[in-house]
Amino acid sequence: MAKYLIGVDFQPGNADTPMSEWAPEEVQAHLDYYGALMDELVARGELVGSTILTGPDLAKIVRSSGGAPVVTDGPFQEFKEWLAGFQIVEVDSEERAIEIAARLSAVPGPGGVPLAQPIHVRQVMDDDDVPSDADSMDDFLRTAEGVR
């Protein structure tokens, strides 16, 4: 079994209307859909964790060169780039993680129409895969940069 992070941001998918302008029942249907899917993943034993994040207006950037940290506000990316929340699932295959992401993508929007929202899927590294020396870090960076 492998773990996957499924990330949800605020890209609107095919909705032209921002959620702040949806009818209350449309927002409730959206939230109920997420709730039912999370309940299903819990019942199947696939949901490791799930969280919703605060907006970037509460985010902090922390830098330190070993002394006292320097804390600043930010980042201030565009609204659609905010990471809204994520789930960690433990599933038998990447195909199952993609199936779950597809269901999240189909969350209802205005008029109950599926949003087709872009969803991020990334495998969580096993402890054995985490770079622990210069050579394994070089291999990881080459893969991360698209050099295989």
For residue 133, the model assigns a pLDDT of 82
* CATH at 9: 3.30.70.1060
The region of weakest confidence among 23-32, 80-89, 96-105, 124-133 is: 124-133
User: Which range of residues forms the domain containing residue 30?
Assistant: 2-144
Q: How far apart are CA 34 and CA 26, in angstroms?
A: 13
The region of weakest confidence among 22-26, 34-38, 41-45, 142-146 is: 142-146
| Contacts of 74 by beta carbon, 8 Å cutoff, 6+ apart | 56, 59, 60, 61
Beta strand spans in the chain (E) = 2-9, 47-52, 60-63, 70-73, 83-91, 119-123
* Total domains present in the chain: 1
The DSSP 8-state label assigned to residue 56 in this structure reads G
| Per-residue pLDDT reduced to its tens digit, 84-114 | 899 999 999 999 999 999 999 999 999 999 9
